[in-house]
Structure 1
Amino acid sequence: MSIQKNLNTIKQSLPKNITLVAVSKTKPISDLMKAYNVGQRIFGENKIQEMAEKHEEMPKDIEWHMIGHVQSNKVKYMAEFVSLIHGVESFKLLKEINKQALKHNRIIDCLLQIKIAEEDSKFGMSSKEAQDILQSQDFSELKNIKIIGAMGMASYTDNTNQIEKEFKLLETTFKDLKVIEKENCKLETISMGMSGDYQLAIACGSTMVRVGSSIFGSRNYNN
């Protein structure tokens, strides 16, 4: 099937309130443009350099989402254009995003990455750590970021019950954090669910899904 057909099939299956992030990491610009030409405007990348290169060459009405692990020293390369940073897992990183956003006179939207998987390889903070950050005075002073939700990655497993349990943990954490409202914090987005499990994620409360291989086909990591 073609990228356009894949994309249209997925979009037709999504409820109206769900945001689709087309995960385009490792894919050439020609593939992204096929998705763009049938109306996709939100693309997710996991390497800042690759995202910056694609941003340079592609139409400027695209929303670029950084969905991978973020190193503080690389934030400056995307601060001018990134629309949403999914994987914020520390206050130190938030401070750096705020600092770089200020240089460009922007407010950058962010999601707090919550660790819901049992695997050690997954990044993220606990619900308690997230609450402590959002309630702190230091956080209130960050004027150039806005926390708009939470993100989580389930374990890489075929055990649907475990994945469902982890998704529900993120939804519960989101509800706990949602009561904390500040000028730079208004939670509305739950980003969870990928190609293999996005329908389950939506059933568990997701409002944003990150779908790559179901749109673009399997990835070539040798690129």
Structure 2
Amino acid sequence: MAVNTEAYQTVKQELDAKQVTLVAVSKTKPVEDIVELYDSGHRDFGENYVQELVDKQAALPKDIRWHFIGHLQSNKVKYIAPFVQLIHGVDSLKLLKEINKEAGKNNRIIDVLLQVHIAQEETKFGLNEEELNLIIQEFENLKMTNVRVCGLMGMASFSDDLEKVRSEFRYLKMLFNKSADKFTIHPSPFTILSMGMSGDYKVAVEEGSTMVRIGSLLFGARNSSK
């Protein structure tokens, strides 16, 4: 299935009206599909795999804003540091330090989000509230100059129980508000709350999301071979 342009226009208009950024999740999708959405005016695309992102970035227009939304290993940061727009899934101080180091090598400041574990599923990555507070404190103490913490990211439980999903998003929004108050030294624009995907983005927006990551609604079901 190629891009569902009708669904894209509907979702984009809905999100634009609420000043929510749409990240089109293009992982496992061919370059042709990304070009089709690009030609519709879209610029924010999200990828989960480092090599796939590197290959696509080389092949596609340079004004695309690439978001890395997967679990990022420290030893892979160097490959995306020259161009990545936003790294969504920072879940350790070690990773934050590595991003700062590689950003410095590329004379860049890289924007990141801290990933919080809000789902009742052990398979999801992320920080708990105590770990989140510690990483913010350490970030302030270390005064990293090539990385900006711009907000939080979280994934709700994969569930049909939307009230359960809503409560998880509500909890993340509470942490987001508390975390924003803790940044006293670094002038980070702590304004991004990345939560919500194809199946739950409407609930996420209702609970305060400023950025959603949508793939299957726009591109169809993902290629399960990847």
Q: Which amino acid aligns with 2:44?
A: I
Provide the alpha-carbon RMSD of the alignment. 1.4
TM-score, with normalisation over the residues of structure 2?
0.95
Moved more, 61-70 or 183-192: 183-192
Q: Does 1:204 align with 2:226?
A: no
Q: Which amino acid aligns with 1:136?
A: E
Moved more, 45-54 or 137-146: 137-146
TM-superposed deviation, 1:173: 0.4
Q: Which residue of 2 aligns with 1:73?
A: 75
Q: Which residue of 2 aligns with 1:96?
A: 98
Equivalent of 1:146, from 145, 148, 154?
148
Equivalent of 2:195, from 189, 192, 197?
192
Equivalent of 1:162, from 161, 164, 169?
164
Give the 3-state SS of the residue equivalent to 1:156 in structure 2: coil
TM-score, with normalisation over the residues of structure 1?
0.96
Q: Which residue of 1 aligns with 2:177?
A: 175
Moved more, 149-158 or 181-190: 181-190
Moved more, 202-211 or 122-131: 122-131
The CA distance in 2 between the partners of 1:52 and 1:137, in whole Å, is 28
Equivalent of 1:33, from 32, 35, 38?
35
Q: Which amino acid aligns with 2:200?
A: D
Q: Residue 20 of structure 1 contacts residue 42 of structure 1 at CA under 8 Å; is this kept in 2?
A: yes
Cα gap change, 1:137/1:63 in structure 2, threshold over 3 Å: closer, same or farther? closer
Runs of 4+ in 1 over 3 A off after TM superposition: 137-140
The unaligned stretches of length 5 or more in structure 2 are: none
TM-superposed deviation, 1:131: 1.5
The unaligned stretches of length 5 or more in structure 1 are: none
Cα gap change, 1:179/1:56 in structure 2, threshold over 3 Å: closer, same or farther? same
The CA distance in 1 between the partners of 2:187 and 2:103, in whole Å, is 13
